[in-house]
Amino acid sequence: MKLISPIDQLAEAEPLLEAGADELYGGFVPQEWQKRYSLLASINQRTFEGAQIRSFADLQEIVKRVHGRGKSFSLTLNAPFYSDEQMPLLLEYVDQTVAAGIDGIILADLGLLRLLRQRHPGLEYHASTLAHLGNSGSAAFYAAQGINRIVFPRHLTVAEMAEIVGKLPQLRFDAFMLVGNCPNTEGLCTFHHSSPDKIWPCEIPYRIKPLESPGSPTLQAAIDRQASWSRTNRRHGCGLCAIPALLRAGIYGVKLVGRGAPAAQKTMNVSLVREFIRLAAEETDLSRYCRQARAAHAHRFAAACSSNVCYFPEYCPDE
């Protein structure tokens, strides 16, 4: 199983690779995009400078160092869609990054995928969670358009992932793990994530009031779950307990969240997940493995596990 980490700075490359990352991914905003669109649209779903590689020269050097370790780098270009006006600039931008040696592109826009597949057939194309591919039919459709690899949406269970993997053996599948979990379905979320304080809409408490009272038990359960969200910290998202099941399900890679996070936290997350991938391959006592995972979560975040922020709540002890 591959371990995939975000990167935002050249200085992070060596520590992340040394900690055990097999692949790195990150975003870079070209100057022309900054001049023309920075106030209107994000090129890669991050709206603050700290979540972007600083310069094209830094991107080139990151790719060089990654390749020097026999690893790979994927460029994040995952806005849900781009306009016809933006396409010429995007294609020129991708041409430059391909010349720099990138190995893959993470995207969601089908139009962009079709154009790039013809233009750069040697790249590996990853369907972002923004593509919202939650069943085998949608995954097969993207595969027919040229996708090689799919990042599963956060809301799927391991069993649902395993079923899709089994039906599409020609594809590679990645699952998210550690930090940044969210109550909303990313591919359907239309909230703006542009707060200078980096407080996102899903972190702001609000109340749901049904139009008709009393509501159904299902609606009430959703209201109760939403009300509990503000009492937990989405940055404590985990999922370590599920690694043995992900291995059995045939997941190709576990992808860590954290573009824009401090470098030390990224490195710590890589080391932690690398250790538990090793343990999952060696430990035959799953109960003992889960106890170790929960203890590691408590040590890493100084907080108890919670199904609100667990990536795989079916393995969470409070469920």
Given this model, what pLDDT does residue 89 score?
92
What's the Cα-to-Cα distance from 12 to each of 2, 62, 92, 299, rounded to whole Å?
19, 9, 27, 23
Given this model, what pLDDT does residue 40 score?
65
Q: Is the separation of the CB atoms in 167 and 301 below 8 Å?
A: no
316: pLDDT strictly greater than 90: no
298: pLDDT strictly greater than 60: yes
Distance from C-alpha of 250 to C-alpha of 302, rounded to nearest angstrom: 31
Residue 286 lies in domain: 2-315
Give percent above pLDDT 90 in the chain: 59
Given this model, what pLDDT does residue 318 score?
60
Given this model, what pLDDT does residue 119 score?
96
**Residues of 235-248 as b/e, b for ≥16 C-beta within 10 angstroms?**
bbbbbbbbbbbbee
pLDDT band of 96, cuts 50, 70, 90: very high
Give me the torsion for CA of 10, 128, 303, 208, rounded to 10°: 130
pLDDT digits (tens, 9 = 90+) for 158-184: 999 999 999 999 999 999 999 878 777
Q: Which amino acid is at 159?
A: A
Given this model, what pLDDT does residue 229 score?
76
Given this model, what pLDDT does residue 237 score?
84
Distance from C-alpha of 88 to C-alpha of 180, rounded to nearest angstrom: 33
Given this model, what pLDDT does residue 14 score?
96
CATH assignment of the domain containing 270:
3.20.20.70
pLDDT digits (tens, 9 = 90+) for 218-269: 888 878 877 777 777 778 888 999 999 999 999 999 999 999 889 999 999 9
Number of domains the chain is built from: 1
pLDDT digits (tens, 9 = 90+) for 10-59: 999 999 999 999 999 999 999 888 888 875 678 887 777 778 899 999 99
pLDDT band of 211, cuts 50, 70, 90: confident
Residue 297 Rama label (left phi>0; alpha psi -120 to 50; beta): alpha
Distance from C-alpha of 44 to C-alpha of 52, rounded to nearest angstrom: 9
Given this model, what pLDDT does residue 279 score?
92
pLDDT digits (tens, 9 = 90+) for 144-162: 999 999 999 988 999 999 9
